[in-house]
Amino acid sequence: GAVVSQHPSWVICKSGTSVKIECRSLDFQATTMFWYRQFPKQSLMLMATSNEGSKATYEQGVEKDKFLINHASLTLSTLTVTSAHPEDSSFYICSARRGQGEQYFGPGTRLTVT
Partner 1 sequence: KNEVEQSPQNLTAQEGEFITINCSYSVGISALHWLQQHPGGGIVSLFMLSSGKKKHGRLIATINIQEKHSSLHITASHPRDSAVYICAAHFGNEKLTFGTGTRLTIIP
List interacting residues with partner 1 (CB under 8 A): 1, 32, 34, 38, 43-44, 46, 49, 91, 93, 95, 102-108, 110
Q: Between residues 43 and 65, which has the closer beta carbon with respect to partner 1?
A: 43
Q: Between residues 63 and 102, which has the closer beta carbon with respect to partner 1?
A: 102
Rounded to whole angstroms, how far apart are CA atoms 32 and 30?
5
Burial (CB count <10 Å: 0-12, 13-18, 19+), residue 99? exposed
CB neighbour list of residue 11: distance below 8 Å, 6 or more residues apart? 19, 21, 109, 110, 111, 112
CB of 43 to partner 1, least distance (A): 4
| β-pair partners for 27 | none
Q: Between residues 2 and 82, which has the closer beta carbon with respect to partner 1?
A: 2
CB of 77 to partner 1, least distance (A): 15
CB of 58 to partner 1, least distance (A): 12
Rounded to whole angstroms, how far apart are CA atoms 13 and 36?
20
Q: Between residues 84 and 97, which has the closer beta carbon with respect to partner 1?
A: 97
